[in-house]
Amino acid sequence: MPLDRPLSLVTGASAGIGAAFARALAARGHDLVLVARRADRLHALAIQLRAAHGTAVHVRPLDLADPSAPQRLCAALAAEGLAVDWLVNNAGYGVPGTFEASAWEVHAAFLQVLLTAPTELAWRLLPGMRARGYGRIVNVASLAGHVPGSAGHTLYAASKAYLIKFSQSLALENRAHGVHVCALCPGFTWSEFHDVTGTRALVGKLPRFLWQRAETVVDEGVAAVERGQIVHVTGRANRAIKALAKLIPDRLGLWLSARQSRRYRQLD
């Protein structure tokens, strides 16, 4: 059964969708563990949430590109007697340019943050959820995981497709134990994501109807995981794009992707 004050762990909580998840869950009566690299932003958000909602907020500045970070985080929480009921695997970013344009160390760090860390956190926290008969895991994937790959940002769509399939299998394995798992798949979302990747000017040319606010994405995500939906694509426009991508032949889909990539992907 749902707890009076669930404890939610949110990665990538310093901005964008992660910060929006923290605010939404605090407003719903959750206590929080906030994880990101930027300690100053986490502490500022924690002060806001404590004042607004009386939320207990545990700030954990960590770089999930460090392979030891998930184990160290979970060990520290266990030592403090903190049992995580909601896990929001949100931390992520993009590597602009083509595959060979970046050093392998850059790609290895990306794969650690986008693939290994969320998978390991789920593996470490899932047994406690099952034992208590209650848990929620939200893996923030992307519409990119449902459509043909694009030139540029080579590993991004691949990593999101993994999170979708991982969430599906995990959900089927655990739905009888009170644990809901959802792959949340937003499209273009207003945040600093594209500022960090240096593609703001490119994506700024896309139609405004393709964009959503982070708060809207989060509201849809919380509702989806609560009702047991395993994969949720946010927004009508994005759901239409996903449906179309399933209907058209792969060859046509890749041709369209090749034409559109230069509009929103940095290729050099």
- pLDDT at 202 (0 to 100): 56
- pLDDT at 7 (0 to 100): 98
Task: Tell me the pLDDT tens digit for each residue of 113-155.
Answer: 999 999 999 999 999 999 999 999 999 999 989 998 888 889 9
**Is the pLDDT confidence value at 19 over 70?**
yes
What is the DSSP secondary-structure string of 5-70?
Answer: S-EEEEESTTSHHHHHHHHHHHHTT-EEEEEES-HHHHHHHHHHHHHHH---EEEEE--TTSTTHH
Q: Domains in the chain, ordered, with CATH?
A: 7-264 (3.40.50.720)
- pLDDT at 195 (0 to 100): 46
- pLDDT at 200 (0 to 100): 47
- The torsion region of residue 255 among left (phi > 0), alpha (psi -120 to 50) and beta comes to alpha
Average pLDDT over residues 233-243: 90
Burial level of 8, CB count in 10 A (0-12/13-18/19+)? buried
Q: Judge if pTM exceeds 0.85.
A: yes
SS3 content of the chain, % helix, strand, coil (to 5): 55, 15, 30
57 versus 2: the higher-pLDDT residue is 57
* pLDDT bucket at 26, cuts 50 / 70 / 90: very high
Torsion of CA 116, 155, 239, 191, to 10 degrees: 80
Amino acid at the residue 152: G
- pLDDT at 230 (0 to 100): 98
Residues that are catalytic: 156
* pLDDT bucket at 190, cuts 50 / 70 / 90: low
Torsional sign, CA 115, 36, 7, 83: positive
* pLDDT bucket at 193, cuts 50 / 70 / 90: low
